[in-house]
Amino acid sequence: MGRLDGKVAVITGAASGIGAATARRFCREGAAVVVADLNDAGGRAVVTECTAAGGRAVFRRTDVSAEPDVAAAIALAVESYGRLDVLFNNAGLGGALGPIDETPVEDWDRTQAVLLRAVFLGMKHAVPRMRAGGGGSIISTASVAGLRGGAGPHAYSAAKAAVINLTRSVVLEVAKDHIRVNCICPGGIHTPLIGQRFPGSDEQLAQILSTVQPLQRAGTPDDIAAMALYLASDEARFVTGTAMVVDGGFTAGGSQIAAPGPMPTEYAGPSFEPRE
């Protein structure tokens, strides 16, 4: 038996990195998964991989900053599989980069739309479905950048801190409905998103990441997928309102992840799109 047998999940940002690893893991553990992402090719490839291995998965092209798209992805889960048990608000990007006094307001707002408004939208549309089904688990990707200074760009850090407190706030409203709400705070995870900021090979990036926390290896998407699996499963039935840190000890005493050279003022969009 799988740890998620009979459960239905929506995972945003599931075309690559943490989202893709989680979609594969959830399917292996028995869940049916809606793969939600802007990246059509990547999302469909993840679905193909999951179904070829015997899992159940469908793709929905989703702009997580747009309410109709988020609502449609959640509706697809119910239409395709009859219910919604798990929502993983995972889609992300680097967003506005550079000094605070040089950050365009438009880039700040675009960052908050993807990293914070999207989490709100996911919660908004998942809660009624989960309430109707007798409960569920909402998980969001926050970051160690939401817990300490110097761990991420300004707009990104602000959004992730807000995700952590939104998680705690919503718990108080939906606990009576048997809906659990948690977030995960990854540290330096070797994904295409963080690779945008570091030129060079995957091996070079892995080496950089291995030096910033006490456990001297780069974190992997599978490390975060394992925590998401736990939070989605009935094993975590008494766990809610938490910010689960998965960082190799970074927040206990790691060093800042420093990109080579000064940080340019720019906007880092989804990892599959060219830099602006």
Catalytic residue numbers?
156
Q: What are the b/e assignments for 252-269, b being 16+ CB within 10 Å? A: eebeebeeeeeeeebbbb
- Which DSSP letter does residue 145 get? G
Q: Please provide the distance, in angstroms rounded to a whole number, between the alpha carbons at the two ends of the chain.
A: 46
The residues facing 179 across adjacent strands are 136
Alpha carbon distance 155, 95 (integer Å) = 7
Alpha carbon distance 178, 165 (integer Å) = 19
The residues facing 90 across adjacent strands are none
Alpha carbon distance 69, 72 (integer Å) = 5
Nearest to 97 by CA among 152, 147, 161: 152
Q: What are the b/e assignments for 154-163, b being 16+ CB within 10 Å? A: bbbbbbbbbb
* 245: region left, alpha or beta (phi > 0 left; psi from -120 to 50 alpha): beta
- Please state, as a whole number, how many other Cβ atoms lie within 10 Å of the Cβ of residue 52: 8
Alpha carbon distance 259, 37 (integer Å) = 27
Give strand ranges (E) for 52-208: 56-61, 86-89, 95-97, 136-141, 179-186
